[in-house]
Amino acid sequence: MLIPKGKLIAIGGNEDKGSENEPDYIQRNNLNFFNLQILGKFKKELGKEDPRIEVISSASKIPYEIGEIYHEAFTKLGCTNVESMHIKNPEDAQKTEFIERIKQADGVLFTGGNQLRLSTIYGESEILNILKRRYLEEESFIIAGTSAGAMAMSDTMIYRGSSAESLLKGEVKVTNGLGLINNVVIDTHFVTRGRFGRLAQAVATNPLLIGVGLADDTGVIISGGNNLEAIGSGLVIIVDGFEMMHTNITEIREGSPIAIENLIVHVMARGNHYDLSKRKFEAKSLAPSASEIEKEINYKKQHNSNNNGHTGENPASEH
């Protein structure tokens, strides 16, 4: 199997966009300051002072509004070359205009919304072919996805499953995703929406898969198609069913409770790593230094002063 030279960044949703001005916002929401957050990390990984970024908002019901919010967020990070691609259907995804823009972009970000829209629109598209080729061949190329955009990255994609009934057989539905990474299934808003059960069922029915649960304002950088590094302010949950000893899932009726023995779970925080091929947790940590903290406090104070009276919007993703 070819080792990708590019990187993926999967984000759990509701990433800090530097748009909230309440003094205790950071403490209440466990955010590690704007420049330490995920969008800043995305820019840094691109390796350019002013990278060309394409925001793809196809998954959202409000694509134009979402595009503007991300444009504003990246502008705060000093990015002036950010555009939104409002691709509504598979026909749009074949248009030369959009294909050429994908060829020229340094990085691409899929926003949240409905992941089925992404797999339906891009599943057989030239845009997806170009994204895969560039991801495989170009070291500096990055594909990011938040919420639905993250869930659609893998070859197996969860598209339905309520939190309350997710450990009942048949309540979790999966289909083919975009196939940027194999043998992984990703779930988002993992802590706030109580989604452990549906990731556990997805892994129990596909034990070769590794489940990756991403909390809000949290993500993973995937390097070499194999190494996961946790970033952001929350937790990354790894669910591994490879050593599962027993499950009743093949014996029970639809709607019955599922039993799973020896499901392995890891909890990762910022700076921790996980090797997908070895199924191994690496307990590194990456706490911000005192100088980083002081710098970010000063930045936040200045940012709040410049935007006094304005309350930004953090759109809630559907999935």
Which of these, 259, 262, 264, 263, lies nearest to 247 by C-alpha position? 259
Judge residue 287's burial from the number of C-beta atoms within 10 Å of its C-beta, 0-12 exposed, 13-18 middle, 19 or more buried: exposed
Beta strands in 233-287 (DSSP E): 236-240, 246-247, 260-261, 264-268, 273-275, 280-282
Per-residue pLDDT at 312: 36
CB atoms within 10 A of CB 306: 9
Per-residue pLDDT of the chain (319 residues; tens, 9 = 90+): 789 999 999 999 876 555 444 444 333 333 333 334 899 999 999 999 999 999 999 999 999 999 999 999 999 999 999 999 999 999 999 999 999 999 999 999 999 999 999 999 999 899 999 999 999 999 999 999 999 999 999 999 999 988 778 889 999 999 999 999 999 999 999 998 999 999 999 999 999 999 999 999 999 999 999 999 999 989 999 999 999 999 999 999 999 999 999 999 999 999 999 999 999 999 876 555 555 556 556 645 654 554 454 333 333 344 6
Per-residue pLDDT at 319: 62
Question: What are the residue boundaries of the structural domains of the chain, listed by start?
Answer: 7-161+218-233+269-306
CATH architecture of 7-161+218-233+269-306: 3-Layer(aba) Sandwich (3.40)
Q: Amino acid identity of 234?
A: G
pTM above 0.75, yes or no: yes
CB atoms within 10 A of CB 188: 31
Nearest-5° angle of CA 6, CA 109, CA 175? 85
Per-residue pLDDT at 24: 43
Helix axes 63-76, 38-46, angle to 10 degrees: 70
Q: Is 92 helix (H, G, I), strand (E, B) or coil?
A: helix
Those residues with Cβ within 8 angstroms of residue 147's Cβ, 6 or more apart along the chain or in another chain: 11, 12, 13, 14, 59, 111, 112, 113, 188, 189, 317, 318, 319
